[in-house]
Amino acid sequence: MRFLLLLSLFLSLHAHATYDKEILLLQSYNKGLKWTDGISKGVETVFQDHPEYEITTEYMDSKKIDSPEYFQTVLELYRKKFANRHYEAVIVADNFAFEFALEHGDMLFPNTPIIFCGVENFDPVQIQIHQASYKTTGVVEYKEIDKSFELIASLVPNLQKVYIISDKAYSSRRIKEQIFEAKEKYSDRFEIIYDNDILLETLPEKLANLPLRSAVLFTSLYRDTNEIYVPYSKLKNFFSTTDLPIFALTSIHLNEGIVGGIMVDPFVQGSEAAKKVLKIFEGTSVADIPISTPEAQPMFDMEMLMKHSLLIEALPKNSLLVNMPIGFFERNRELVNSVFTLSPLLVFFTIALLFGLYKKTVLEEQLRAQSELDSVLLNTIQSPIFWRSHEGVLLGCNRALCALLNKPKKELIGHHITQVMPIFCEHIREEEGDFKTDIELSYVDIDGKQRDLMVRRKRFERGVVTIVTDVTQKRQIELEYKRHEQFVLQRSKQSEVGEMLASIAHQWKTPLIEISAIAQSLVYARKKHAISQEEAKGFSNDIMEQVSYMTQTIDDFRSFIKPSTKAVVFSVKDAVEDILKILSHTLKYNYITTTFTCKDADLDLDTYGYPNEFKQTLLNIINNAKDAIIKQRILGKSAEEIRISLSQTAHNTILSIEDDGGGVDPESLPHVFDPFYSTKEHGDGFGLYMAKLIIEDKMRGRIVASNTDTGAKISIYLAKNASNG
């Protein structure tokens, strides 16, 4: 494999040509895979009208091989292959290419915008960790698991079981969690069987044991349980020979024997990503191009729907249908041609007229029924809805708008919106070429109450549809939550006050003894001889030195207990040293040795966040470690050390706190950050929960608990301050 990659590199370097405007399309999988080819087609379709851009496609082939050694070899190849090439943009398709580009993009494509597509279970933290948000946008692939189960239940009468076919590939593992959440949600309606231990040879036997009223949901099957690649021809044969209806999550197998489903289209993923690239080339900043999630579309094969006797009338209204049945005229084209040739024109026009009248009557009845249904649905919705022409004339509305404005519909329809709702026009001003879809505004209703409204708008052919949602209560809840969160943080900090007071008591004991000794020395000296002014000053200085130390102890405690009002840049190293200084006497009193090592002591290990809340987290973790060591000693085991280390990577500062207190029970380890979960006899389960809240919610970092050979380890990952590179 390495030989082939190096050979490919050698040939590409000799054939290398430099283009002024070159775009790299980095595909996770291989050419010939329908999903991959669909994305490529979407990208190429958008750029077919832009011949000034050259598209180069690289295939990582990760469906067939995904070992760490293989990706390391690919990295070495790409590093040499792209060393002297500059791309205007890099489009990455699917998770392998996306994560590969995030990890190595600064080295392979410096200062080049990265636009992703086909990425499942997208987490914005991935971008934040790699500090790529200033140059990264893209298209998220989201498979509608819940909607798919609802669809299957509506099409299959008296549904009993849904059998899910999946494999153990990376993309399949990404949606497994969604499937298991749905499994409990629908357990009272039908049974969901998840199977990723698949061999095509034995799969028909498994399906044969299912009840008659069952269905199959196919997610993906690129490699079977023996890690052998499954070609399309075998999948197509399986789809066409299975007696149960098969639904799918992507459109690549449509027209091959599956019924259909709520499907993600690879062509849409590729074309949407390409359109974002064009916006960047037109001068739009990457940061101003939002990450989008195209809605999955309902697509069906009419032949398969009829074959399995499914409820066609339950299909979603906007469904895309293929293999529609041929109509009468198409089936009998020769007969119809003969009749029209031989029949008198009068008969022809009479039949056509009667048929036209019949169709008109049917359509009018359907339109009337649809209009009544639309009216009922609109008036059932509690949010005000109205639609207007492009000129601003109100064309229609529901009853909720009439109630909001306290006006009957006849005073609204046909009037300009500036007359009937001036408050909206004041807040929603449309500048030339600037159409805002989501707008928040405040509104005083007829009772004089202040209300917060969310206004969402959508353009259509005749004008603009607007939905107004009252979010007053939601905003109040959000405000109350923020106040409650600060209260909880302070309460958690105060729960550590007992430990702090004990530490202060230990720290004050020594200076108090020193002051007592100085006082006794002063009395003894006065008995022996008269004290000179210089000797008195010496005694005074000694006493003031001890008092100053005690004052500094109180100042340190006050600084810790005071909440941080806003996020600032602070030194992680200084925070650790401050907490160790506060806890030094308590740890010393319990005969616990604490070592603090900083692997990059010559660098400023700064982060951005709340320093006092961060110190609170450290205090809680170190106290937990102290308690674990004391518990080990009670059990007669040796324990005496807490080890703290500070290091950094390209983008993160990493703080690790280890102890030799025996560790956490493996069954409890996944729950140590859960609220009200504690392994201590009288613990409240509050400390580590607040630590997770502070690190991950307030400081956008990550905290992880694990066991070592001798005890427990807490690792904290914080984003480095941007000023430090």
Within 291-416, residue ranges assigned H as helices are 302-307, 328-331, 333-342, 345-380, 399-405
Beta bridge partners of 139: 292
Tokens of 456: 């969402």
Residue 310: how many CA atoms within 13 Å on its side-chain side? 30
Tokens of 253: 């197998």
Whole-model pTM?
A: 0.46
Tokens of 542: 């000694």
Q: Which residue has the tokens 């003969």?
A: 338
Q: Is 276 exposed, middle or buried (0-12, 13-18, 19+ CB in 10 A)?
A: buried
Residue 236 gets the label, from left (phi > 0), alpha (psi -120 to 50) or beta, of alpha
| Secondary element (H or E) of residue 56 | strand 54-59
How far apart are alpha carbons 452 and 472 in whole angstroms? 5
Q: At what angle do helices 572-589 and 533-561 cross, to 10 degrees?
A: 110
Q: Which pLDDT value is given to residue 304? A: 92
For residue 169, give Cα distances in angstroms to 73, 110, 197, 314: 21, 30, 11, 33
The radius of gyration of the chain's CA atoms, rounded to the nearest angstrom, is: 35
64: phi then psi, degrees, rounded to nearest 5: -100, -25
Quickly count: other Cβ atoms within 10 Å of residue 608's Cβ.
17
How far apart are alpha carbons 625 and 661 in whole angstroms? 7
How far apart are alpha carbons 454 and 416 in whole angstroms? 21
Tokens of 67: 């070992």
**DSSP conformation class of 326:** P
**End-to-end CA, the chain:** 37
Beta bridge partners of 311: none
Beta-strand relationship, 438-444 and 568-571: unpaired
Instruction: Work out the angle at residue 16's Cα, subtended by the Cα atoms of residues 15 and 20, and round it to the nearest 5 degrees.
Output: 140
- The alpha carbon of residue 562 and the mean position of all alpha carbons in its chain are separated, in whole angstroms, by 34
CB 84 within 8 A of CB 19: no
Q: Which pLDDT value is given to residue 550? A: 64
How far apart are alpha carbons 614 and 236 in whole angstroms? 57
How far apart are alpha carbons 277 and 693 in whole angstroms? 37
How far apart are alpha carbons 489 and 482 in whole angstroms? 11
Tokens of 316: 């979603």
How far apart are alpha carbons 374 and 382 in whole angstroms? 14
| β strands within 319-431, DSSP E | 320-322, 385-389, 394-397
User: pLDDT tens-digit profile of 433-484?
Assistant: 567 777 777 777 666 777 778 888 888 777 888 888 888 777 777 777 666 6
| 3-class SS of residue 8 | helix
What length is written for the chain? Answer: 725
Contacts of 669 (CB under 8 A, 6+ apart): 705, 706, 707
CB 112 within 8 A of CB 102: no
Tokens of 474: 């939601």
Residue type, 374: D
Beta bridge partners of 717: 654, 702
Beta-strand relationship, 136-140 and 191-195: unpaired
Residue type, 133: S
Q: Which pLDDT value is given to residue 397? A: 87
How far apart are alpha carbons 668 and 683 in whole angstroms? 14
Residue type, 435: F
- The alpha carbon of residue 695 and the mean position of all alpha carbons in its chain are separated, in whole angstroms, by 18
User: Of 530, 676, 504, which Cα lies nearest the Cα of 584?
Assistant: 504
- The alpha carbon of residue 124 and the mean position of all alpha carbons in its chain are separated, in whole angstroms, by 5
Quickly count: other Cβ atoms within 10 Å of residue 324's Cβ.
9
Residue 90: how many CA atoms within 13 Å on its side-chain side? 25
Q: Which residue has the tokens 């819940």?
A: 146
As a dihedral over the C-alpha atoms of residue 95, residue 100, residue 102, residue 103, rounded to 10 degrees, the angle is 140
User: Of 467, 468, 462, which Cα lies nearest the Cα of 393?
Assistant: 462
- The alpha carbon of residue 250 and the mean position of all alpha carbons in its chain are separated, in whole angstroms, by 21
How far apart are alpha carbons 626 and 616 in whole angstroms? 15
If you write DSSP's letter for every residue of 12-32 in order, what string do you get?
Answer: HHHT----SSEEEEEESS-TT
How far apart are alpha carbons 256 and 268 in whole angstroms? 20
User: Of 391, 364, 390, which Cα lies nearest the Cα of 464?
Assistant: 390
pLDDT along the chain (725 residues), means of 10: 46 45 93 93 94 93 87 93 90 93 89 92 77 76 90 92 88 80 86 90 90 92 86 88 93 91 95 95 91 94 91 90 77 65 68 81 75 70 84 84 83 84 68 66 71 81 82 74 60 55 54 63 72 75 65 61 72 87 77 86 75 82 88 88 90 91 89 79 71 84 92 91 49
| 3-class SS of residue 417 | helix
How far apart are alpha carbons 411 and 420 in whole angstroms? 8
How far apart are alpha carbons 114 and 276 in whole angstroms? 10
Q: Which pLDDT value is given to residue 13? A: 44
- The alpha carbon of residue 19 and the mean position of all alpha carbons in its chain are separated, in whole angstroms, by 36
How far apart are alpha carbons 618 and 676 in whole angstroms? 19
Tokens of 98: 């996306």
How far apart are alpha carbons 65 and 72 in whole angstroms? 12
User: Of 410, 65, 377, 370, which Cα lies nearest the Cα of 223?
Assistant: 65
